[in-house]
Amino acid sequence: MTAIAVIDYDMGNLHSACKGLEKAGAKPIITDSPTEIEKADAIVLPGVGSFDPAVQHIRSRHLEQPIKDAIASGKPFLGICLGLQILFDRSEEGTEPGLGIIPGVVRRFRSEPGLSIPHMGWNQLQLTQPNLPLWQQLPRDFYVYFVHSYYVDPIDPQVTAANVIHGSQSVTAAIATNNIMAVQFHPEKSSDNGLQMLSNFVSLVNSQVAV
């Protein structure tokens, strides 16, 4: 069975993500062990909360280099919500440097009349990489569930895999480059669409393990 390391750094509901992965036929392993991360077939980095505590926890548990090594090895990697944001250089939410894996900044939504911050609830994706394995067997521009006040702003627009519109602002909702995929929304809270997405990730991992 495919072993997927779900990285534990005290910043999120790991069990919801694990249930989705289990339904897709994977064996999720909640871990903060560099050895387990190295042995796993793929990595999931979830997260809920604030930017600075997240990167502080990752560094205090000596997880920064194991995460970077796993990505450099070519293993499939899925970041979820805060697990997307901390891949970037820095955030307007705090002062700590991010992991610097994806060049760019995490920005706060601009205030405008009638705009709710945080952006919370169901919203429709606009796919910019429609052939991404994560989107397979899903309708184009499907709905997913968001809870966030900050969004990623990559330097290279080509890494954006999907956008979302909130108020008058169109922002990055997902990125994909090489073996890295990461989403701002919560697949584990996105009903059948989210479960399909997690299943697609597991299928991608299985195909690589089989090779």
User: Is 186 tagged catalytic?
Assistant: yes
Give the residue among 39, 26, 48 at the shortest CA–CA distance from 189.
Answer: 48
**Catalytic choice (57, 119, 148, 186):** 186
User: Is 57 tagged catalytic?
Assistant: no
User: Is 62 tagged catalytic?
Assistant: no
Distance CA 132, CA 134 (A): 5
Question: Which token pair is 192?
Answer: 């059948």
Question: How many residues are there in the chain?
Answer: 211
20 alpha-carbon distance from chain centroid: 14
Distance CA 2, CA 42 (A): 8
**Catalytic choice (81, 119, 148, 166):** 81
Sort 30 into a burial class: Cβ within 10 Å, 0-12 / 13-18 / 19+: middle
> Which positions are catalytic?
81, 186, 188
